[in-house]
Amino acid sequence: MEKEKIKLLIADDHAILRQGLRRILEAEADMTVIGEAATGAEAVKMARQLKPDVVILDISMPDQDGLESMRQIVSTVASRVLILTVHLEHQVISEAVSGGAAGYLAKDSLDHELVAAVRTIVHGGTVFSANVSKRLAELSQLGGAQGPRPLESLTSMEREVFLLLAEGKTPTEVATSLFVSPKTVHTHRQHIMEKLRLHTTTELIRFALRQGLIRTV
């Protein structure tokens, strides 16, 4: 039986770019583009209707920006969002990660990097291009001497939970992977955050990036 293809929605206000992305992605035997959106509001509407596996989303969009569109998408459908943009400002990247982006690539990324990112994201991973990872790490370093402590302070189970959370998995998904209850994962997560002096999932991902534990392309 033929393996089901990865369903993609492309959201960008430039038709030429959308067409180019479609050609790149549909050249892959395991991918199909099921829709294109030219505005932020249209991206949200189509994501809810078509329920793609991955939404490839620009930040600079008419109607509403990509960050708001991403928040609306991840809060209502299971689709994962890959940001593809020219914006590399610290604040924008931070908002995207905290808002639920599963990946963040610069528009000058190579074709094979985009394809690899889609495959990683659809299997539950988190992907950032190298320049984005650098900026996230810079944000983490602003904490100075009070920044997170080394990963060695975690127990083996806490480390496993940490790695799965850093990959973008939900506590429920982590519980399933480790054959424990969601309540147990929540307890481990609390201990992890306390030990590493972290407060949010965004900070956890930044820490993982600094430690080289999240894939970059």
CA gap 132, 162 in Å, rounded: 21
Largest CA distance in the chain: 56
Q: Please tell me which of 70-79, 97-106, 165-174 the model is most confident about, judged by mean pLDDT.
A: 70-79
**pLDDT of 170 above 90:** no
pLDDT, one tens digit per residue, over 84-105 is 998 888 778 888 888 889 999 9
Min mean pLDDT across 15-29, 99-113, 169-183, 195-209 is at: 195-209
85: which DSSP letter?
E
Do 172 and 182 contact (CB within 8 A), yes or no?
yes
What number is the average pLDDT over the span 101-117?
Answer: 91
| CATH 3.30.390.10 describes domain 6-139 | no
Percent of the chain whose predicted confidence (pLDDT) is above 90: 38
User: How many Cα atoms occupy the beta-carbon half-sphere of 212 within 13 Å?
Assistant: 0
CATH T-level assignment (fold) for domain 142-210: Arc Repressor Mutant, subunit A (1.10.10)
Domain locations along the chain: 6-139, 142-210
Provide the pLDDT confidence category of residue 141 given band limits of 50, 70 and 90.
Answer: low
CA gap 24, 158 in Å, rounded: 39
Which phi and psi (to 5°) does residue 147 adopt? -70, 180
pLDDT, one tens digit per residue, over 21-64 is 999 999 999 999 999 999 999 999 999 999 999 999 999 888 88
Q: What's the confidence (pLDDT) of residue 145?
A: 43
Q: What's the confidence (pLDDT) of residue 146?
A: 47
Indicate the residue type of 181.
S
Label residues 10-42 b or e (16+ Cβ within 10 Å = b). bbbbeeeebeebbebbeeeeebbbbbbbbbbbb
Q: What's the confidence (pLDDT) of residue 47?
A: 96
Provide the pLDDT confidence category of residue 167 given band limits of 50, 70 and 90.
Answer: confident
Distances (CA, A) of 17 to 14, 23, 53, 191, 217: 5, 10, 20, 45, 21
What number is the average pLDDT over the span 110-125?
Answer: 91
Overall pTM surpassing 0.85 (yes/no): no
Q: Which residues contact 155 (CB under 8 A, 6 or more apart)?
A: none
